[in-house]
């Protein structure tokens, strides 16, 4: 049987390897860091893990509605397409640092893109 994207990336170990790098990039990125301020870092880190597991194609039960609900407080802070782009860019750079090939990075970006409308509250 063909390996899933999640398996090809290395599963949970890959998420664990990526979370520090990705979260550090997000916090140091002036475009998006303000969305992550004021939240306890440990709590935030497990949310980042949830994010990474999801976009790596791993096990999760998030619905589009969950994604909308989870981000709608950020819409009030001005969340828009440019921020989703920044997230996807940081995600790609994280994976590059971990030696992941462009093909898989593209698949990850596609999953992130597929929930763009939900995250930005379009259609809700």
> Binding residues for another protein, per CB under 8 A?
12, 16, 19-20, 23-24, 27-28, 40-43, 45-47, 49-50, 53, 59-62, 66, 70
Three-class SS state of 76: coil
What minimum distance in Å lies between the beta carbon of 38 and another protein?
A: 8
Whole-number Å distance between alpha carbons of 5 and 74? 29
Number of H helices, E strands in the chain: 7, 0
Q: Which of 105, 76, 95, 88 is nearest to 17 (CA)?
A: 95
What minimum distance in Å lies between the beta carbon of 23 and another protein?
A: 7
Residues that bind ligand HEM (CB under 6 A): 32, 35-36, 39, 47, 50-51, 54-55, 62, 70-71, 74, 79, 83-84, 87, 112, 115, 119
């Amino acid at each position: 049987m063909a390996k899933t994207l999640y398996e090809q990336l290395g599963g949970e170990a890959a998420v664990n390897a990526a979370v520090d790098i990705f979260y550090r990039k997000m916090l140091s990125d002036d475009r998006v860091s303000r969305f992550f301020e004021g939240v306890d870092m440990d709590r935030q880190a497990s949310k980042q893990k949830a994010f990474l597991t999801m976009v790596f194609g791993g096990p999760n039960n998030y619905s589009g509605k969950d994604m909308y609900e989870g981000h709608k407080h950020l819409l009030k802070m001005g969340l828009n397409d440019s921020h989703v782009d920044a997230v996807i860019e940081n995600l790609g750079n994280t994976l590059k640092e971990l030696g992941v090939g462009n093909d898989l990075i593209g698949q990850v970006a596609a999953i992130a893109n597929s929930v763009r409308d939900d995250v930005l509250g379009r259609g809700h």
